[in-house]
Amino acid sequence: MVIDQYIKYYGGEIGRTKAQVLRSIKAFELAEKPISTIESANIVAMLRGMDVKPQTRGNYLSHLAAVISTARPAWGHDVDPAVVRDAAIAAKRLKLVTKSQQRQRRPTLDELDKLMRHFGDRERRRPSMLPMTRVIPFALFSTRRLEEITRIRWADLDVKNSRVLVRDMKNPGEKAGNDIWCDLPAPALKFATSMPRIVDKKNGKEKEEIFPYSTDAIGANFTRACLFLGINTEDMPDEDRLYFHDLRHEGASRLFEMGLNIPHVAAVTGHRSWTSLKRYTHIRDAGDKYESWEWLKIADEPYRPKRS
């Protein structure tokens, strides 16, 4: 199957979300057809059968287009990329797809306090638990994406200059090999340096990563906690739900609220243009509301993981 071939070839380069979307497409009748026989009408039919928002259908169509446009030049499959283009035109006219809306969701201090208390209690009861009380603040203050956090190595951390090398940073049209040095705000640096050199149980060697955990594990812990605490509910609209990625939004907006200018904020987030950065300028207050945040003191003590 071409989708499997695409995922296997690109591996981690395509990202967890895109790979998940492509695997979901395999559940539709379209995936059972030989790629050379796929027509625009088949793609439109798949979109019609999706009980999701138009923006989500647009994401599915975009990722499917990437597979089909690669199939002929990369692996010699007899497929016309125009079938996706024609399907996209029809889907837009039928209002099956629309552009994704920019999220404006930011966590409140009350929500973050609930999450930190929840994970703090769990870590005290089970010291071997994934240290979400350090991952969450680092994500917020560093403005790093989840995939970036789990890739950061100790060798990528420049403590003296308070910066970090973000490898394969997501950027339109470019990802693999797109390594960028980003400034690391003081609270983020403190949480990073509070982590120990974790030893791999299999070979007894120190792991290279500062946060050597899987994106799936971190994401699942965050999602389950938001549901358990009532921050999210099953019937809540997507735009009102809190996701781990919203911590990046909060962190970037915080920098603007503190009075940093565009170049300074971009030096932290890694954005290359004002156009892509302006989505984070949802200013609520002036100053740093995290200056006296009670959970900052967690980083004063080194994290000491215990084996389960």
Q: How far is residue 269's CA from residue 181's CA, in Å, rounded to a whole number?
A: 10
Note the pLDDT tens digit of each residue in 126-179: 988 899 999 999 999 999 999 999 999 999 999 999 999 998 887 644 555 678
How many structural domains are present in the chain? 2
Cβ proximity of 97 and 58 under 8 Å: yes
Widest Cα–Cα separation across the chain: 62
Q: How far is residue 87's CA from residue 75's CA, in Å, rounded to a whole number?
A: 23
Residue 305 belongs to a domain: no
300 exposed, middle or buried (CB, 10 Å; 0-12, 13-18, 19+)? exposed
Q: How far is residue 227's CA from residue 234's CA, in Å, rounded to a whole number?
A: 8
> Average pLDDT, stretch 188-192?
97
The number of beta carbons lying within 10 Å of the beta carbon of residue 145 is 21
Which candidate, 52, 58, 65, places its Cα nearest to that of 91? 58
| Same domain, yes or no: 272 and 169 | yes
Compute φ and ψ for 274, nearest 5 degrees. -65, -35
Note the pLDDT tens digit of each residue in 71-110: 888 888 888 878 989 999 999 999 898 876 667 889 999 9
Compute φ and ψ for 183, nearest 5 degrees. -65, 145
> Average pLDDT, stretch 43-51?
91
| Same domain, yes or no: 187 and 250 | yes
| Same domain, yes or no: 121 and 188 | yes
Band of residue 53 on the pLDDT scale cut at 50, 70, 90:
confident
The pLDDT of residue 12 is 59
Band of residue 10 on the pLDDT scale cut at 50, 70, 90:
confident
The pLDDT of residue 171 is 62
Residue 306 belongs to a domain: no
Residue 53 belongs to a domain: yes
> Average pLDDT, stretch 295-305?
91
Please give the residue range of the domain that contains residue 35: 2-93
Query: What SS3 class is residue 82?
Result: helix
| Same domain, yes or no: 82 and 120 | no
Among residues 49, 67, 93, the one where a domain terminates is: 93
Band of residue 282 on the pLDDT scale cut at 50, 70, 90:
low
The pLDDT of residue 175 is 52
Which candidate, 248, 250, 242, 203, places its Cα nearest to that of 225? 242
Residue 14 belongs to a domain: yes
Note the pLDDT tens digit of each residue in 199-216: 888 888 889 999 999 998
Q: What share of the chain has pLDDT > 90, as a percent?
A: 52
